Amino acid sequence: MRPIKVLIVDDSAFVRQTYSALLDHQPDIDVIGTASDPYIAVQKIQKERPDVITLDIEMPRMDGLTFLKKIMTQAPMPVIVISNQTVEGADVAMKALEAGAVDIMAKPNLSDENNINESRIRLADKIRSAYHSKNPSTKVATPSTSPKVVEHTPGQRENISFPSNALIAIGASTGGTEAIKTFLESLPDRMPPILIVQHMPEKFTAGFAKRLDQLCKLTVKEAVNNEPALPNTVYIAPGNHHMAIQNQNGRSVIKVFSGDLVNRHRPSVNVLFQSVAETKGKHAIGIIMTGMGDDGATGMLAMSQQGAFTIAQDEASCVVFGMPQKAILLNGVSRVLPLSDIPKEVCERLHSPV
């Protein structure tokens, strides 16, 4: 197979050179060109026909978000948005995902050797994942200038019962932000604790959690180390940190910690799923959603072997079928369902006798 053709769009010559160098020894990736602004990028796109574009958000002449929307309406292709690790950068990155970007990545810290090595892994993996994703939609999402704000009022919660020791664990990667949003928006306001690992950079997960909290009936927050896992609350693993669940003095406590990449990721779905298997066993529900690679597969198998009910998103509704497929091939999945059917299955399962 021919290498994946990549176009790097960034106004910094140093960054363009660095990204090219990071990808230089990847046999399946070929940087076919670079561009310092969107206007030059258009010429390169027409001439070189890249498979994937990496796009800086902050650029002269035309900002990256505006350029992304033009790409999605005129010549849709996989775009990875690269943004600064700031609150403003994270907010723009979330808008980029809504506008059609297939993935986001934080600009690497090029002064740290360990960070450079991890950035090489992440950048190459994201390019491969973007290449294997389904064609982007030509429909540009409407900017979220006035999101539906949901008030969390415990006194008005729906009369739904579930086991007090139940817990739901979810893992996702490429395409997962929209899949998770769709899933959570369909849930009632009374649910067991929900722990989510979405492969996303540090500082971006806080914005993701805030956005979901505005849209969902459940409370959504970025997880904090040593906090209890409470009902009616969704916990998002912070970017660049693993998340696990432990039993501590008779209650379920969330652990957030640093560490090596696991399955080439931090946070890793496997870290969460393995802890849920050990801590919750048959009282847990595990869900693996769209994403490239095999993160979460062995963890889901461990959950299944401990009696948990496990669900994989089906191929038709995935942006990338890699993670669910790996879990299915390991025989760690109880049911394979389209994304639209997963919320109903989860709610029904919570009422089933164990």
Are 68 and 79 in contact, with CB atoms under 8 Å apart?
yes
Name 106's bridge partners.
83
Q: For the residues of 244-301, what is the DSSP string, one character each?
A: EEEEETTEEEEEEE--S-BTTBSS-HHHHHHHHHHHTGGGEEEEE-S-SS-TTHHHHH
Phi-psi region of 281 (alpha: psi -120 to 50; beta: other; left: phi over 0): left
Q: By C-alpha distance, which of 317, 293, 311 is closest to 347?
A: 311
| Active-site residue (options: 83, 119, 189, 199) | 199
Cβ-based neighbour number of residue 276 at 10 Å: 27
- Cα–Cα nearest to 129, from 287, 319, 298: 319
Q: Catalytic site residue 213?
A: no
From the candidates 56, 295, 314, 317, give the one annotated as an active-site residue.
295
Amino acid code (one letter) for 245 = I
Catalytic residue, chosen from 173, 252, 275, 304, is 173
Which positions are catalytic? Answer: 173, 199, 295
